[in-house]
Amino acid sequence: MRRLITTAAAIALGSLFIVPTALAATATPFGAATTSGGILHLVSDTGDAGAANDFSGASFAGTGVTTFASLTTLSTEFDVTDDGCAGGSPRFQIRVQTPSGEKNVFVYLGPAPSFTGCSQDVWIASGNLIGATDGRYDTSQVQAGTQVSTYAQALALVGTYPVTGISIVVDSGWAFADKEQTVDVRNVRINASTFFAPEGPKPPGTETMGPGQACKKLRAEMGADAFRAAYGTNRNGANAFGKCVSRMARAKDDAARAAAVVRIVDTATHCAAHSASAPWPCRPARRSATAWRWRSRNASSFIARRRSSRSASTIRICRAPSSNMRSRCSTRVIT
pLDDT along the chain (335 residues), means of 10: 50 41 78 92 91 94 96 96 93 98 97 93 94 96 97 98 98 93 95 88 62 84 79 78 84 81 72 46 38 37 39 43 42 44
Based on its alpha-carbon atoms, the radius of gyration of the chain, rounded to whole angstroms, reads 22
Task: Determine the Cα angle at 324 with ends 318 and 327, to 5°.
Answer: 40
Contact assessment for residue 203 and residue 135, using Cβ atoms and an 8 Å cutoff? no
pLDDT number for residue 82: 87
pLDDT for the residue numbered 127: 94
CA–CA gap between residue 189 and residue 181 (Å, rounded): 23
Fold that domain 2-195 belongs to in CATH: Jelly Rolls (2.60.120)
Instruction: Collapse the DSSP code of 122 into the 3-class scheme (helix H, G, I; strand E, B; otherwise coil) and give the result.
Output: coil
Q: Report d(CA 80, CA 151) in Å as an integer.
A: 25
Amino acid 18: pLDDT:
39
Domain ranges of the chain: 2-195, 211-334
Predicted confidence at residue 209, as pLDDT, reads 79
pLDDT at 203: 55
The 8-class DSSP code of residue 161 comes to S
pLDDT for 276 equals: 45
Say whether pTM exceeds 0.75.
Answer: no
Q: Cα dihedral angle (34, 35, 41, 47), rounded to 10 degrees?
A: -20
Which residues, in sequence order, are CB contacts of 136 under 8 Å at separation 6+?
A: 107, 108, 109, 112, 115, 129
What is the structure's pLDDT at 94? Answer: 98
Angle at 303 between CA 301 and CA 307, to 5 degrees: 160
